[in-house]
Amino acid sequence: MSPPVQEQWLISPRDREFEQQIAQAVGVHPLMAATLRNRGLTTEAAIREFLGPSVESLHGPATLPDIEPTVARLVDAVANQERVLVHGDYDVDGITACALMTRFLSTLGVNVSYYLPHRVKDQYGLSQEAVERATAEGIKLIIAADCGVRALKPIAAARAGGADVIVIDHHEPGPELPAEALIVNPKRSDSSYPERELAAVGLCFKVASAVCEALDVSQSSLQRAFLDLVALGTVADMVPLRGENRTMAALGLKLLPQTRKVGLRALLDVCRLNSIVSARDISYRLAPRLNAVGRLGDATEALQLLLTDDEVEGRRMALYLDSINRERQHEQERVYLEALALIDEQEHLQEAPVLVLDSPGWHIGVVGIVASKLLERYRRPAVVLAHEGEQARGSARSIEGFDIAGAFQQCTDLLVKHGGHAAAAGVTIAQDNLPAFRQCLNELAAKAIGPETRHPKLHVDAEVSLGEIDEQLLDDLQALEPCGQDNPQPLFAALGLKVTSCRRVGTDDRHLKLQVLADGRGWDCIGFGLGAAAGRIRPQQRVDLCFTPEINEYMGSRELQLRLEAVRPSRQDQGG
């Protein structure tokens, strides 16, 4: 099986004078100062603002496109106790956006129903069938949350059926906005809102905030009620965690452990998250369980978990989502291994700038995750497609420097449907067009992707001596949360460390357990998913480590350990 592409470590140089200056002025560890500098924070004022996110830094919603008529229409719906349909999407951002709008409007007395598309039956986006059913039932207002900005035909059908449409969407608009709909989207060309990259759930929160202003409802009550959902959807959707996204996510993370939503509380219990919830916990524990049911079944069950007020039902649904997530993991691994086998078997795939893989036996719900894993392994854009009758439908993930959604646009004559972002997109295509599609993508990629982009880059905050790592640093690094897109986990490098023990651990020996000797003491290291590296490491060898320091709590004890991002034989290795 083809080996993964090796990482390129880009270690930022230390500026000791700056580190000491900021350490003294702000009261942080020098390595924390180095980490902040690498995020473009170089003044005391900017650093204090970044480390202390507060509601006072949130922007007013007044400059969002179409916000005034949107608020007026929603205030009318409240005054008249109208029947309203909230149509979300089947990912965590779409589910939380739908949950927020449904709970918010229900609290104001509106008769709200909801709909989430089924990944297999409905495909992506605003469902024309759901819209037509809603208008036939007499619903006069449809809110599209996390979808709709390109839904020209479904919105036209809604208007023809007598319903008004409000679109609250953060996806890139097409060349033409839907006619006769209110479009709240900061990516519109005429938007003057300061933040362009809000998640849909954050955008729904801003709309709710504007309605609260109009109705003289407490903003602090709104924040306490819904910033937990905003944190969930924002972190899960991998929007940049800077500016307003960071502020709302940080405040929401603090609220999550005390959430009053009984279904969400039950999910936290299933994930054993009782006191502190981090962005990493959302990404690796909460979001996969909320996503899983939409990948393999009906995402409405995840939405109902966030809406239920019944504790018994909340517990049952949380356990169900947990079991579905285990099924998703098994299905994902099967498809991934089959994809690896295809790459090994087909010579043209081994050299292609873009991996385009398809199979009749693959589940549409996991192809996006598999595309991400292939991207990570081969450092090439990946498109993974499941067959559906005479068509193939799937997801793409891309590397920096190759806009996959833009590439799909240039191949649009071959496609049935497509949409997404520079780094991730979805596509539907007739199977007969697959060869021409592969050729089109690979010709575009061959011009755009140079050999230097084939090696994933690890941006390392500083080269350190392990003696610099202490509990003050770990306490300070917590203030970087929430970490994610554009605000990555801090990474440090320590070079030339002597290995005292090395072994594989965990299910299928997937993880690496390492101990190294430095500064007169042993250091425990854990590398999740790095088990294969054990074959390249021997005791007494010297290694370079790229890591995040953390506290490992187990059976009541707390020990400092290094969570490895990468390990390599050291250039300082002298053979023991």
Q: What pLDDT is recorded for position 202?
A: 97
The answer to whether residue 421 scores a pLDDT higher than 80 is no
Torsion angles phi and psi, residue 465, rounded to 5: -90, 135
Q: Is 68 exposed, middle or buried (0-12, 13-18, 19+ CB in 10 A)?
A: middle
Q: Give the residue range(s) of CATH 3.90.1640.30 domains in the chain.
A: 58-250
Give the other-Cβ count within 10 Å of 459's Cβ. 12
Query: Which candidate, 216, 290, 289, 228, places its Cα nearest to that of 259?
Result: 228
pTM of the model: 0.89
DSSP structure class, residue 87: E
CATH 2.40.50.460 placement within the chain: 8-38+461-569
Q: Is 30 exposed, middle or buried (0-12, 13-18, 19+ CB in 10 A)?
A: buried
Q: How far is CA 66 from CA 1, 70, 167, in A?
A: 53, 6, 10
Q: Which CATH class is domain 58-250?
A: alpha beta
Q: pLDDT-derived band of residue 520, with 50, 70 and 90 as boundaries? A: confident
Q: Give the length of the chain.
A: 576
DSSP assignment, residue 13? P
Q: Give me the percent of the chain exceeding a pLDDT of 90.
A: 80
CATH architecture for segment(s) 346-454: Roll (3.10)
Mean pLDDT along residues 526-539: 89
CA distance 323 to 278: 23
Q: What is the pLDDT of residues 460-503, one digit of tens each?
A: 999 999 999 998 999 999 999 999 888 999 999 999 999 999 99
> What percentage of residues in the chain have a pLDDT greater than 70?
97
Is the dihedral angle over the CA atoms 7, 8, 10, 11 positive or is it negative? positive
pLDDT band at 107 (very low <50, low <70, confident <90, very high): very high
Amino acid letter, 26: V
Can you tell me the mean pLDDT for 15-35?
95
The pLDDT of residue 574 is: 47
**pLDDT greater than 90 at residue 519:** no
The position carrying tokens 């929603």 is: 74
Backbone Cα Rg of the chain? 25
Residue where the block lists tokens 């002025």: 25
**What architecture does CATH give domain 8-38+461-569?**
Beta Barrel (2.40)
Q: Cβ of 196: how many Cβ atoms within 10 Å?
A: 14
Q: In the structure, what pLDDT confidence band is assigned to residue 275 with cuts at 50, 70 and 90?
A: confident
For residue 575, the model assigns a pLDDT of: 45
Cα–Cα distance, 464 to 444 (Å, whole number): 41
Note the pLDDT tens digit of each residue in 359-408.
Answer: 999 999 999 999 999 998 888 999 999 999 999 999 999 988 899 999 99
How far apart are alpha carbons 163 and 145 in whole angstroms? Answer: 16
Task: Please tell me the predicted confidence (pLDDT) of residue 198.
Answer: 96
pLDDT digits (tens, 9 = 90+) for 196-209: 999 999 999 999 99
Q: Determine the pLDDT at residue 437.
A: 96
Whether the predicted pLDDT of 102 surpasses 90: yes
**Secondary structure of residue 155 in the 3-state scheme:** helix
Question: What distance in Å separates the CA atoms of residue 54 and residue 59, rounded to the nearest whole number?
Answer: 11
The CB-side HSE value for 536 (13 A sphere, CA atoms) comes to 11
CATH 3.10.310.30 segments of the chain: 346-454
Nearest to 357 by CA among 339, 369, 344, 373: 339
User: Which residue has better confidence, 373 or 8?
Assistant: 373
Question: Does residue 185 carry a pLDDT above 70?
Answer: yes
- pLDDT of 376: 87
How sure is the predictor about 509, in pLDDT bands with cuts at 50, 70 and 90?
A: confident
Contact, 426 vs 418, CB < 8 A? Answer: yes
pLDDT tens digits for 52-91? 999 999 999 999 999 999 999 999 999 999 999 999 999 9
Element (H, E) at 562: strand 557-569
**Whole-number Å distance between alpha carbons of 329 and 487:** 27
Q: Rounded CA gap, 316 and 540, in Å?
A: 51
Both tokens of 217, joined, read 């409802």
Cα separation, 102 vs 115, in Å, equals: 10
98 and 203 Cβ atoms separated by less than 8 Å: no
Bridge-based pairing of strands 164-168 and 182-184 is parallel
> What pLDDT band is residue 576 in, cutting at 50, 70 and 90?
very low
> Mean pLDDT, to the nearest integer, of 146-173?
94
